[in-house]
Chain A
Amino acid sequence: MTDQTGTSLAPALEMRGITKRYPGVVANDGINLEVRPGEIHALLGENGAGKTTLMNVLYGLARPDEGEILLDGTAVRIAGPADAIARGINMVHQHFMLVPVLSVADNILLGEETMANRVFLDRKEAHRRIVELGRRFGFEIDPEARVGSLSVGWQQRVEILKALYRNARILVLDEPTAVLTPQETEEIFAVLRRLASEGHSIVFISHKLYEVLEIADRITVIRRGRVVGQRRPAETNEDDLAELMVGREVQLTVDRGISHPGEPVLRLSGLQAKDDRGNLAVRGVDLDVRAGEILGIAGVAGNGQDELVEAIIGLRHPTAGTVTLAGADMTGRSPRDMNEAAVAYVPADRHRFGLITPFSLADNLVLTSYYRRPYARGVIRDGDAIQRDALSSIERFDIRTPSAMVTAGTLSGGNQQKAVVAREFDRDLKLLVLDQPTRGLDVGSIEFIHRQVIAKRDAGTAVLLVSAELDEVLEMSDRIGVMYAGRIVAIVEGRTADKNEVGLLMATGGADRSGITPVEVPA
């Protein structure tokens, strides 16, 4: 790791000409990547650009068709995750690879157990080492805490400790900030900088431009499996990076224009709802959403947003309080009642709730209206009408698909979401409820969906937007409600909202200003 000359350090990691083909696609096409000791190297690209494939190659999960990997200048063949770990390469996956029911220590130990003898674990020694390691990077961690009870920010730290416990020299972080508040992001960045200063090499995968500019020493941009450019933060900016990443000029922030809010359409008063385990998750929400405005709900995932949305839309029975729609009491009405009252809903998980993936695209486009004319006469469905309207939706909402009859599961994420949007948006609405409408989508699809939402608002629809992506809430909302522990703790003007202020409210509910205590996910 140390280099005698001190100035021109040999790369800790070099990937040369990596090519990986899957049937029908070239996921990586001759990619070169070089990471020096102590460097934070950002890998920037859209979803599907090939970042994950490249890292799977590095981690031994995929075998490259061409190219070679060099560690400290020596060519190596990485057989699998165990081999990668043995060589000091560790990965923090986007979806944490932690077992929620196990303790912090057990999660860290797993696969790299500290043993008292050949059979039994030495938890005492492991706990000592974990606490010590945490202190070295500036945080106190309880090795016996159950991982499932920690906030995502702390889970992220557990992931990093897991890598350090294995003496990682090269640390790959796949979209590490996707679920963090701005404060948590800053804290993780501080940890990463500390790691780099101790000589660790870090590969930071992201599609968030400003983050990459903040943390990286160098930025490699890939698009469609190829390296399209390399930059230093000092010599580039967000627009430049976005253009490299997408291949065309992109409007990063949708011009939301000026809203003209009218009468309240949705009125919640004292709304309460329980989560699946029977604990009160929504603890008395009072909220008005007016016609022609976008009200964003910001909050760390798990603070009752899901239950709030479900209680509004009729998927969850409120235990107290009322839901009023344009003056009519709709508390506890079924989703179909809500749908027929001109309420549309885009669920957070399009695979589980938005679409029936084994069904055809055409059938998915009539999921909320299949039972009435013109799609059905009595009990008989009208295939022609369904097909005709599907083709029209496909054209107007730019859904890229070979036909209306392919199963929805075969479409890309962006096109699936466009299908949901086409179904939900394509009529006059009083209220539009959006739960994480752009999660996991590429920049182009996000831009498209945001425009559609703005258009709906300008047509006089009341829009309730829930998102864990604070940037999205800030960018889209006319007003922002911050949700914490089942309550709306603050409502701020969208136009003047300060990101850090909102982030702090999300993390602490406004009561505690320290912002660094581990937030127990409210039960």
Chain B
Amino acid sequence: MDITPLVNGLYGIPVLGLVFQAIGYLVAVIPPNSTSIMSQATPLALAALCGVLCERSGVVNIGIEGTMLASAFTAWVVGVAINPMFQAAPTDVFGITIPLVIALIAAIGVALLISALHAWLSISLRADQIISGTIINIAAFGVTGYLDQLISKTSPAGAGEFTRFTPPDALTNLPGVGWIVSMFLNQGPIAMSAIVLIVGAQVWLFRSRWGLRTRAVGEHPRAAETVGIDVIRLRYKNVMIGGMFAGLGGAFLSIEATNSFQLGMTNGRGFIALAAMIMGRWTPLGAFASALLFATFLQLGQLINIAPPGGDLGTIMSAVPAQLFDALPYILTIVILAGVVGRSVPPAADGQPYERESAT
């Protein structure tokens, strides 16, 4: 049966026609771009996972943005520095080289140090956690910007980048689900490990001893202490492990998504990740789903400029300044944080420093 007359008829109805065209546009552009959407989602998801681990244990970390930026810079600059020392060709799958691996480890190490600083300030010194996070953000922006300026004068070559795995065409061409295969498998090593880490963290948080204790410490630390749990130690561990995830997300930006570092290249992702964490109700999987949603909007903002929709929808949208579409994910962040998704309840002791019942 030919449905063209039906489609044309629906297009003809004002408003409903526009909705129909918008859905048609989304269906047309999202599957072919699924790989890019996952790439956009990866740093968001890793940063959100950092947020989940910190806040589930009771520590607010708004320094994720700065942590990621510092890691992105470290990964790139370490790659630049040690690349000349190694000549081996990259592996076929993922394009792994020794300099890239070392760069990745360095990036995670720096993130670990920064989150240890945040942990020390907010857990041991009981400093204001927002201020501690802000310090990290400002310092990371300033220090990476300054060093980048010093180095980029010589316009050095980076260590290259991790490459994407190419799944067999038989899978990616599967009707209906092929694009989902591309989304998750046509990815580099960091993006793929992000998926594994998120699923793992979900199970870990809700089924393991560590997870139960972490949630208890974030909800009612005194209760946890009275059953013999070391609140301070557990918070340190969670903040530092979370920091490593943020570091992985930062490295993704400079040695997997691109092969370069730009000033402030995290571009607010650390903050969008916190919105994704809230929208995902402090669960790893929820945060990942939210990160995918944000990523879709980020991607749409670009696609609308490159391949605008046709028809009446296209006519109307061409009247709207293009910058507005770039702002979509940020507008979405504000809308979500304003509570449109319903009230999500943070861990009860989130952001509250814990003072031990003194054993003096």
Selected from A81, A83, A101, A121, the residue in CB contact (under 8 A) with B219 is A101
Given the interface pairs A62-B358, A115-B209, the reply to whether A102 lies near B226 with Cβ below 8 Å is no
Q: List 10 A-B contacts (CB under 8 A).
A: A61-B358, A62-B359, A81-B226, A83-B228, A99-B220, A99-B223, A100-B219, A101-B348, A111-B213, A113-B209
Contacts between chains A and B (CB distance < 8 A), count: 81
A323 at the B interface (CB under 8 A): no
Question: Across the interface, do B226 and A91 meet the contact criterion of CB distance under 8 Å?
Answer: yes
Question: Across the interface, do A97 and B209 meet the contact criterion of CB distance under 8 Å?
Answer: no
Question: Across the interface, do A120 and B208 meet the contact criterion of CB distance under 8 Å?
Answer: yes
A98 at the B interface (CB under 8 A): yes
Q: Which 3 A-B pairs have the closest CB atoms?
A: A82-B228, A111-B227, A97-B223
Smallest CB separation, B294 vs chain A (Å): 26
- Chain A interface extent, by class: 20 to 34
The residue on B at minimum CB distance from A85 is B228
A98 to B224, CA, bound (A): 9
Chain B interface residue count, Cβ-Cβ cutoff 8 angstroms:
25
Given the interface pairs A97-B226, A110-B216, the reply to whether A63 lies near B359 with Cβ below 8 Å is yes
Smallest CB separation, A103 vs chain B (Å): 10
Question: Across the interface, do A98 and B223 meet the contact criterion of CB distance under 8 Å?
Answer: yes
Question: Across the interface, do B359 and A61 meet the contact criterion of CB distance under 8 Å?
Answer: yes
Write out the residue numbers on chain B whose beta carbons fall within 8 Å of the beta carbon of A120.
207-209
Question: Across the interface, do B208 and A119 meet the contact criterion of CB distance under 8 Å?
Answer: yes
B235 at the A interface (CB under 8 A): no
Question: Across the interface, do B216 and A81 meet the contact criterion of CB distance under 8 Å?
Answer: no
A381 at the B interface (CB under 8 A): no
| Secondary structure dominating the interface of A | loop
Question: Across the interface, do B225 and A81 meet the contact criterion of CB distance under 8 Å?
Answer: yes
Smallest CB separation, B205 vs chain A (Å): 12
Give residues in B with beta carbon < 8 Å to A. Answer: 204, 207-210, 212-213, 215-216, 219-220, 222-229, 345, 348, 357-360
A503 to B197, CA, bound (A): 53
Write out the residue numbers on chain A whose beta carbons fall within 8 Å of the beta carbon of B207.
120-121
Give residues in A with beta carbon < 8 Å to B. Answer: 56, 59-63, 80-83, 85, 91, 93, 96-102, 106-107, 109-113, 115, 119-121, 162
Selected from A93, A101, A119, the residue in CB contact (under 8 A) with B226 is A93
Excluding A81-B228, A101-B219, A110-B229, 18 further A-B contacts by CB distance (< 8 Å) are A59-B226, A62-B360, A63-B360, A80-B228, A81-B225, A85-B227, A96-B223, A97-B226, A99-B216, A99-B223, A99-B224, A100-B220, A102-B212, A110-B224, A112-B227, A119-B209, A121-B208, A121-B209
Write out the residue numbers on chain B whose beta carbons fall within 8 Å of the beta carbon of A107.
223
Smallest CB separation, B214 vs chain A (Å): 11
The residue on B at minimum CB distance from A98 is B223
The residue on B at minimum CB distance from A95 is B222
Question: Across the interface, do A98 and B220 meet the contact criterion of CB distance under 8 Å?
Answer: yes
Question: Across the interface, do A97 and B229 meet the contact criterion of CB distance under 8 Å?
Answer: no
Write out the residue numbers on chain B whose beta carbons fall within 8 Å of the beta carbon of A109.
212
The residue on B at minimum CB distance from A118 is B209
A80 to B210, CA, bound (A): 20
Write out the residue numbers on chain B whose beta carbons fall within 8 Å of the beta carbon of A162.
227
A107 to B226, CA, bound (A): 12
A388 to B223, CA, bound (A): 46
Smallest CB separation, A98 vs chain B (Å): 6
The residue on B at minimum CB distance from A277 is B343
A445 to B254, CA, bound (A): 67
Question: Across the interface, do A102 and B219 meet the contact criterion of CB distance under 8 Å?
Answer: yes
Write out the residue numbers on chain A whose beta carbons fall within 8 Å of the beta carbon of B213.
110-111
Question: Across the interface, do B222 and A113 meet the contact criterion of CB distance under 8 Å?
Answer: no
The residue on A at minimum CB distance from B345 is A101
A98 to B219, CA, bound (A): 10
